[in-house]
Chain A
Amino acid sequence: MARYGMVMNVKTCLGCKACMAACSQWNQTPFWAEEGGKWRTRVTELEDGKFPEVKRKFFPTICMHCENAGCQSVCPTGATFTNKDGIVLIDYDLCLGCGYCIEACPYDARYEYEKEDLEKDEFYFGEDARHHQVHVDKCTFCVDRLEEGMEPSCAATCVGHARIFGDLDDPNSEIAKLVNSGEAKPLGEYLATKPKVYYIK
């Protein structure tokens, strides 16, 4: 049993979006979709400060794997659940496709994997296609990679060491130190969702 989390270091994120590419390849997320695709992780460009001292920043986001997850609490079928390692997951076989969780997530982490996406998934990945039914989709911390002893694909590819993945319950881990020292903070604490993704800004 672990309590997995991630620290995003906005200071070192280069904005290369290698994480988005790696995630979308590993998890076969609809990068083909209209209006810029559907992603489990995004890197948003922000402008910080006032003219003339404007600084560009890159802001990576994923599902925050909330301890008090709005998505899970509205899910009627129990398709959305938290596994023993604190990862919020979706059982595709149970997903009704009602979209209630998309509305309930205050971090815009979820999207619909629709029929067209299934067709495209098969078109691009052929026999290796991983999505076979419509469902709602989001970041899983690459739970399948964790089982194989690998890091989530975004953290594994990150050039700027902006994504630090680990067990929040292990006081010696890099992530626990950053979080326990107060250097990394969750987003939108007022929402009382208790996210397990933290930010160094």
Chain B
Amino acid sequence: MDLVQQHTWGWFIAIYLFFGGLGGATMALGILGELRFNKGKWFGIGVTVLGMAILSFGLLFLVLDLIDPFRFLLAFWIKGIGHSWIARGMVVIMGAYIFGVLYMVAAFFESTTFKKWMGYLAMFCGFGVTTYTGLLLNANVGIPFWHTPALPVLFTVSAFSTGCAILMWVLAGKNDHESEHFFHAIESFDIFLISLELLILFAYFDFARGGNLAVVKSAHLLLGNPIFTIGFLIFGLIMPLILEAYASMKENSRGLAVFASGLVLLGGFLLRYLIVWAGVFQYPHGLAG
């Protein structure tokens, strides 16, 4: 076997995966919050715009990563939809934009039933975007560390955790009763998500121990890299978990939770960057040269 670390994808794809997941999750969670906690139409419109803006920022990096960014219009030529995750992702992203806009229009004109349905569809697409970012990497058969069902689950959970972080930022400045209520709901949900993420990571690496050479190499690359162990695991995952858990038990602790959210966002980005970086091809011997 020839083990070769991939180098076609780097920062740009990681940024895209991060902001794509973050935008999708922000939209899904924000709209859910508006529908569930009656946060009022401007909150719904605000988070949808925010989610779409984040998603668009991410997409910009996907375009910049093309060999020739000016060919980006071809991305709408989705003939490969039957099998390609970039094509499917384009459809889901378009869905998020279309239903997001319809939801905002409905919210603006206060048409309750239509708003609800458009909200659900936009949430579904937002959710789809978060999962798709993992499936995108997952489809690469030649990189066994990515080609495992754990990856899309990990990315989805992590994306929702970062979405919670953004919403905590948005809600932190508001003092009305609903906002506070929603803030704490999000905070608890994030504690749950981070714990889940830790469990998935544990399973992922435990599974990697018994994997083939490329998987073991990827796992070693990550575990030997302080950006992963200290940057992501400690500062991006364990610390925010402890801080949020502590904050959730205390009164007037939103500042602390907001700080923890910043760490969650940092961790979310590092996770994507490092997983992309640690992709190792397992070529049949002789191929790599």
Contact = CB atoms under 8 A, between A and B. Distances in A.
A and B assemble together: yes
A65 interface: no
Interface in B54-78: 62, 65-68, 71-72, 74-75, 77-78
Interface in A77-96: 77-78, 94-96
Contacts of B79: 76-78, 94
Contact of B141 (A77, A97, A106, A108): A106
A95 to B, nearest CB: 8
A98 B86 contact: yes
Interface residues of A, number: 40
By secondary structure, the B interface counts as loop
A191 interface: yes
The 10 closest A-B pairs by CB, nearest first: A78-B79, A106-B142, A97-B67, A59-B286, A76-B86, A76-B87, A188-B284, A44-B289, A187-B284, A73-B83
A46 B285 CA distance: 9
Contacts of A106: 141-142, 281-283
11 contacts: A70-B141, A74-B86, A74-B139, A76-B75, A76-B80, A77-B79, A95-B74, A96-B77, A98-B86, A99-B65, A192-B141
B67 A134 contact: yes
B140 interface: yes
Nearest to A107: B287
Interface of B: 4, 6, 8-9, 62, 65-68, 71-72, 74-75, 77-81, 83-87, 90, 139-143, 279, 281-289
Contacts of A44: 286-289
Given A74-B86, A78-B77, A98-B65, 6 more contacts: A70-B141, A94-B77, A96-B72, A108-B4, A187-B287, A188-B283
Residue picked from B9, B83, B279, B284, most chain A C-beta under 10 Å:
B284
B289 to A, nearest CB: 4
Interface string A166-191: 00000000000000000000011001
Given A104-B141, A114-B67, A187-B284, A78 B9 contact: no
B278 to A, nearest CB: 13
B8 A73 contact: no
Contact of B71 (A46, A97, A100, A103): A97
A135 interface: yes
A97 B73 CA distance: 11
Contact of A96 (B6, B74, B83): B74
Contact of A134 (B68, B72, B81): B68
Interface string A57-68: 001010000000
A42 interface: yes
A7 to B, nearest CB: 15
